[in-house]
Structures are given as structure tokens and as C-alpha cells.
Amino acid sequence: MTQNKPASRYLFLFLFILSCIENAPMDSLDAQGPYAREINDLFWPIMYAGYVIFGIVLVLLILGLFVFDDKTEKEPKNIEGSNVLEVIWTVIPILIIISIAIPTVKVTMDLLKTPENAIEIEVIGQQWWFDFYYADQQISSPNLLVIPINQDISLKMNSKDVIHSFWVPKLNGKRYLVPNVDTYLNIKAEKKGLYWAQCGEFCGLSHAKMRARVLVVSNKDYKTWLIDQTLPYEATQIQDSPIYDGQQVFLNAGCTQCHEIQGFNESDVALLGPDLTHFASRSMFAGSSLNMTRENLKSWLIDPPLIKPGSYMPNLKLTEMEVSQLVDFLMELK
């Protein structure tokens, strides 16, 4: 008869293998900018010192086990009340803690300084997505932060509801987004590409699906992108076309209560959902949890809370026809 092995054994194995994964999109040890590197440069020396101390303790422990085991019948010397030892094991840890504290405080202070030439972009957290607002251009880019390469960016962050945390592991550590309080985080990327971000604070049912991406582009592409994003939507006037029908569904089904499309509608109440003017120009939606495909968009529109539990976007009970028309329209929002 085979023995039953506890599942926890495999859990540890699984966690161990996970820790070995390379090129993980959220690898916090793979710094791609000066702020993340500063954290790594603090982390590794402390880690190595920890390895050495761990090694010394382990060797002493094993030596102790063999020297004073049952067979040798050696009794260790009684050292209770030794002043010398008391002083050594009090002073050494204090020195270690001080030598960790000084660089840690310095790095923490450094990371809080906003560089003079930094571009400021606002980050507004809400359940469960990030809005990136470019105040100078008055554009909103939900869940996709586009920044130029080798440029200091100062993120001015706030929350509309509960406490969230913005975290792009390859560009910096995480920082809270707190309602009614502005917090700041610097990022700077030295390589073009797409960097994953994630809400780092449990903030409700769909916390895990509160993701975002940082797209790092050349200076020229950044300027082009900004101009593209300021362009309003030009509504089609051709009646009886799928896009026209989709526009009508958008205006009449309740979407306009929470969503704005520049040049097309103003939201009826306080803006709750993402600005959709350039919706289809992003390759993901729903807090960067779904790829921008017709199929995904359809399943999303049929029942949003089914895909993102707790979602404020309700099931609007749209017919199959309405969903299809809405998809045709939304896919036009480039």
C-alpha cells in the first residue's frame, strides 16, 4: 500500500521552484532604472551579510550537535552569567542593526526627493483600476502609463476610495495611494519596453485584478502619443452602420453614467469608470486583466462582475445584438 503524502510537501516544492523563475515580469530584483537599482544596492549587501551570519550560526550549531552528543558524554561548560558573553551578544547585534539602519534611512530619504526636471503625472487609484492623468494635456490613460525613456517621472498619487498601493517592481518600490493625501513616487526607465505594475495593498474583492502597465517609449514617440491622446472621438453619422448602432447603445444603455468619450459624451454623474476616448488603443482592459479582443470584450460586457468580482460596472442585461454593436463601436475608439 502506498503512503499518502501530505499536499503541503508539494506546496513547498512549488514555492521553491517559483522562486527560481527567471525573466518574471514582476521580478523586483531585476532593476531597470536608478530608483529600483538603489533599492537593490541596499538589499544585496545586507542579504550577503545575512548569508554569512546564517552560515556561522549553522556551523556552530552543527559543531555543538556533534561535539556534545550522547556518545562523547562531554558536558558543555556552564557559562551562565558570563559578562563577556553578555556584552558580545548585545553589542554585535546593535552594531549590525546600526550598519543596516544608516544606509536604509539614507536610501529612503533619497527615494523621496523629487528631481527638478521630473515630469509630473497623476495616479488615481480606485476599485479596481489605476487612472493616469496628464494634467498639462488634460488626458487620462486608464491602466496604461506611457513615459519617455531616461526621464525622471514624479507620480503624484491619490485614491478615490480605499488605500491602494502602486508598484512597478522593475522601476521602484511600492507606495501607498491614500484618499485625500498626496503621496509621491519617482520612476525612471533606462530601457524601452513594457513594465508590469500591480496594486500592492489588499483593497477588496478584485485587488488581484488591479493591474497596470508602464510603457516606456522614445521621446519622439511620447510626444506623438500625447498628441494622439488629446484627439477627440469623431462620431459616425452614417445611420444603420454597426458603429452607429453601437454609439446609440452606448448613449442609451447606461454607459454614459460612468464613462466619458471626449468629443462624444459627458458623463451624467461623477466620473466613476475609465475614460474610453482611446479605449482600443490600449492592448488590455478591465484593470489590465484582459487582452483587448472582441471575445474578451463580449464576455466582459455580458457580465462584468462575473469576470471582475465586485466590479462597479454592473451587468446591464444587454441583448446579444447590443453587445455585438457595442463591441463594434468600442473597437473604433483608437
Residue numbers at the binding site for ligand CUA (CB under 6 A)? 125, 128, 164, 199, 201-203, 207, 210
Residue number, 203 or 214, with CB nearest to ligand CUA:
203
Residue number, 188 or 209, with CB nearest to ligand CUA:
209
Nearest Cα to Cα of residue 167 among 180, 155, 151, 149:
155
Residue number, 196 or 244, with CB nearest to ligand CUA:
196
Closest approach of Cβ 125 to ligand CUA, in Å?
6
Closest approach of Cβ 278 to ligand CUA, in Å?
23
Closest approach of Cβ 208 to ligand CUA, in Å?
8
* Paired sense of beta strands 290-291 and 175-177, if any: unpaired
Residue number, 164 or 188, with CB nearest to ligand CUA:
164
Residue number, 143 or 247, with CB nearest to ligand CUA:
143
Question: Are the CB atoms for 188 and 33 separated by under 8 Å?
Answer: yes
The C-alpha cell at 30 is 531585476
Closest approach of Cβ 201 to ligand CUA, in Å?
5
Residue number, 96 or 162, with CB nearest to ligand CUA:
162
Closest approach of Cβ 205 to ligand CUA, in Å?
10
User: What angle, rounded to 10 degrees, do the helices at 320-330 and 242-252 form?
Assistant: 110
Closest approach of Cβ 82 to ligand CUA, in Å?
51
Closest approach of Cβ 143 to ligand CUA, in Å?
12
